[in-house]
Amino acid sequence: MNKILITPRSVTKEGGHPSLEKLRSEGYEVIFSTAGVQPDEYELLRRLPDCIGYLAGVEKISAKVLQTASNLKVISRNGVGINNVDLNAAKQLNITVCKTPGANSRGVAELAISLIFALVRSIPFSDANLKSGQWERKKGIEIYGKTLGIVGCGRIGKEVALMGLALGMKVFAYDPFANDFITYSGDFKYITFENVLKSADILSLHCPPSEDGTALLNKNTISLLKDGVYVINTARGELFDDDEILKALENNKIAGLAVDAFVKEPPGDKRLIAHKNVICTPHIGGFTTESVDKAMDEAVDNILKTLGSYKS
């Protein structure tokens, strides 16, 4: 058994990636899931049993899938999130789970900042109206002096914080594992989660979902937000209670929302996508040439190291 399954959509859509040659040069057979499509459980059940390695995207990897993959030794994510993997089942089956922290940090951070500008200046609205022959303007706000709240100040959150400071914003961050972060600015500080919500003019989420499945932004936490706040989610769709977010959009508690990640991709529920004050992108945070290259290189190396075939 020397097959390694490759499933990230950014790679299967393009028919591969140069980093995969390292696997082939070590004698492994590289196979792909359906091109450009996130594999479902049925496809994984068909493809994984013959594989010793698995370079995975964001698709759900259930205990049932892992239990049928009797030859599988390693799952290597081309990203930082591994909450899509049943980690308990992987541990019981002695399957190593690896990730590539930091590989896509810059790409996601730049998207978050881009979405802030797009929201506060109504760029998609203006573009769509002008192209349809209408001359209609929405008054925006300037972000200089505004407070950027960040929930989750890991590699991505830190990048966003530095960009926010460079743009003249005050940055308040919450992270349960907060560590030293040198910004050379008195405009950055760690505060409590509740105070981040209360203080932010713009809130950007960069954290994993809770283990118990509770939405980070639910009825109670949304009530703590400033009226007219802008919210950016480039992390995970599970961070939202969609019903409560929609209510907050309707009553202008949330002035604008930008979303790059959904519970199901592509999403079946179109209510957020269709809302006039929402900007949606199809999980493009780490979908840059640089981020994909770094993540794939590291993911391949993790497979080779785990299988004992790594050469520096």
Active-site residue numbers?
Answer: 236, 265, 283
In a 10 Å sphere around its CB, with 0-12 CB exposed, 13-18 middle and 19+ buried, how is residue 75 labelled? buried
**Residues 233, 261: contact at Cβ < 8 Å?**
yes
Residue 282, beta-bridge partner list: none
Using alpha carbons, list the distances in angstroms from residue 169 to 104, 122, 163, 166.
23, 19, 9, 7
| Half-sphere exposure at residue 5, Cβ-oriented, CA atoms within 13 angstroms | 27
Both tokens assigned to 102: 């930091």
148 contacts 173 by C-beta, under 8 angstroms: no
Burial 249-279 (b: 16+ CB within 10 A, else e): beeebbbbbbbbbbeeeebeeeebeebebbb
- Tell me the C-alpha distance between 4 and 118, whole Å: 40
Residue whose pair of structure tokens reads 């929609």 in the numeric block: 246
H or E segment to which residue 292 belongs: helix 289-307
| Pairing label, strands 188-190, 254-259 | unpaired
What are the backbone dihedrals phi and psi of residue 51, each rounded to the nearest 5 degrees, phi first? -105, 145
Both structure tokens of 22: 């390292």
